[in-house]
Structure 1
Amino acid sequence: MSAIARAETARQPVLEMRHISKTFGTIRALHDVSLSVHAGELHALMGENGAGKSTLMKVLSGAYRPDAGGEILIDGMPAATGDPIKARASGVAVIYQELSLAPNLTVAQNIFLGNEPRRFGIVDRDQCTRRAREIIARLG
């Protein structure tokens, strides 16, 4: 790869959201939102209640399909929109601010919710518990 090509790749965002809009009936939750994130950057998404922060993250994670005209690129490649499984497969994971995702589940089950370790196609609860303990120990 040439030095020019390497420099161009280094400047390419790992995530781009371009012209994202989302409407719910007559309510426009997002209007022409764009976001670029480069490797190594940290971003904070802030705003008042109702500003569209959660809606934007739900579009990114595939929970919501954006209105026509917007696009999401991951490593420069178009990402499937409106598909949580494909979003996760492309490396997108969202951790919501709620303290308990599912209060009826264990801590281990909440940690791996939607991404449970499996063995022979069945959720491996022992591995789930073991990996959760490792994560908790690492975090202190």
Structure 2
Amino acid sequence: MMERIQYRALLRECQDKLFKKGETVTAEELGMYSLVRPEIKVGYWWGTWKLGSRNALLCYDPNGKFDNPIYWIDLENMNSSAQILDKIFDTVSKNWVTADVLANLLWALEDIFDPQRNICAGGADLTFDAETHLTNLSDNSN
């Protein structure tokens, strides 16, 4: 399977073509994008964030060992874009947050929830059941 970094590079390339350069993205490129989306499961990590506890918690450990995380985000209660934004801005207010920590949190939430498809497509706040979504992720990781 394609590495997450390659996936991000391919996604950015398609976005650059479409939005910055006004170029056409081929069906092959779009197909590659849909095929390489990372498979998210317990233990997946983004920098110093790690998905744990049956997909219900996103844990932060500045040491990256995850044996004693200092911060947790309960993912099961993120049922709207407002709830996700609230948690992002709550996290930003912590004195240990750096640009890298925040960027990795955003990548984690994007990978886990695919918000533009599931939560806020086209700017609309969609009804979303995070617990069911996370259960489906867990079921697909076996």
Per the TM superposition, whether the score is higher than 0.5 is: no
User: Which structure has the larger Rg?
Assistant: 1
Higher helix share: 2
Higher strand share: 1
